[in-house]
Amino acid sequence: MLGCFSGMLDMKCSTTGFALTAWFAFLTCTDSISVIGPTCFRCDREVLPTTCSDVVTCGPHETCAIEKGVDFLNDDVFWSGCKDKRDCASNKKRSSPDDVTVTCSTCCDGNFCNSEGCGKGGFPQGGQHVCFNCANMTSPSNCSQVAMCQKDEVCFLEEVPHKLGVIYHSGCRNLPDCKTSRSCGGCCLGNFCNSGCNPYDNLKPPYQYVTLTNAPGLHWITLLPQQ
């Protein structure tokens, strides 16, 4: 049985004439069973790990991986994706193209951890969020692309009426524009937080939250008029 405890903390601060109210939920769980693997970046022939904008949910037998190679022009190229845990344990390299010589292959444990590796750092810390970035989704958790926001932007997910029901958009949004409370979606602070109707929805099971570099329980934020 999965046992969890959550607590709430209310914090208020002032930004650009609005009062910002954020809710933090702290989640601790025991005895969780995973039926999915981590969410990882998935790209080929990128100039840096952080230029990858596609993500994928791996299988329960897989983990995130990254490889660095040198092509026939002597340029560094990076592959990222999912790799079988047994291949990681044996340091087995994947089958690379004939024009690429693999010089580094490494695996890591945790969501999005292969945004860095093989001598290259990840996304810069402080100020810029990395958010899911998709339009016209039929499900709020269907996005498989990400984008780096500007320093004054946060992640958002919105539900939009459509003639066939509703569609969903996600991406980056200026903080002062986060004024509307919705039953599904809103704005949130933290990398990759706009992944479903609730923050981090498609990154379950809960124990995987602890692998994120951001506070994992940050809920949707609401901007209210300054009193």
Per residue, the 3-state secondary structure of the chain, as one string, reads: CCEEEEEEEEEEEEECCEEEEEEEEEEEEECCCCCCCCEEECEEEECCHHHCCEEEECCCCEEEEEEEEEECCCCEEEEEEEEEHHHHHCCCCCCCCCCEEEEEEEEECCCCHHHCECCECCCCCCCCCEEECCCCECCCCCCCEEEECCCCEEEEEEEEEECCEEEEEEEEEEHHHCCCCCCCCEEECCCCCCCCCCCCHHHCCHHHHHHCCCCCCECCEEEEECC
Which stretches of the chain drop beneath a pLDDT of 50? Answer: 1-34, 204-218, 223-227
- Give residue-wise pLDDT tens across range 67-126: 999 998 899 999 999 999 999 999 888 887 888 999 999 999 988 999 999 999 888 776
What is the Cα–Cα distance from 98 to 3, expressed in whole angstroms? 50
pLDDT of the residue at 180:
61
Q: How much is the pTM?
A: 0.69
pLDDT of the residue at 114:
94
pLDDT of the residue at 32:
34
Task: Single out the residue of 166, 191, 159, 172 nearest to residue 41, CA to CA.
Answer: 191
Q: How many CB atoms lie within 10 A of CB 138?
A: 11
> Is there a contact between 136 and 167 (Cβ–Cβ < 8 Å)?
yes
pLDDT of the residue at 227:
38
Q: Residue with structure tokens 């919705």?
A: 182
CA dihedral 81, 86, 90, 94 (to 10 degrees): -30
pLDDT of the residue at 195:
86
Helix (H, G, I), strand (E, B) or coil at 169: strand
Which tokens is 89 given?
Answer: 């344990």
| Cis preceding linkage at 205, omega within 30 | yes
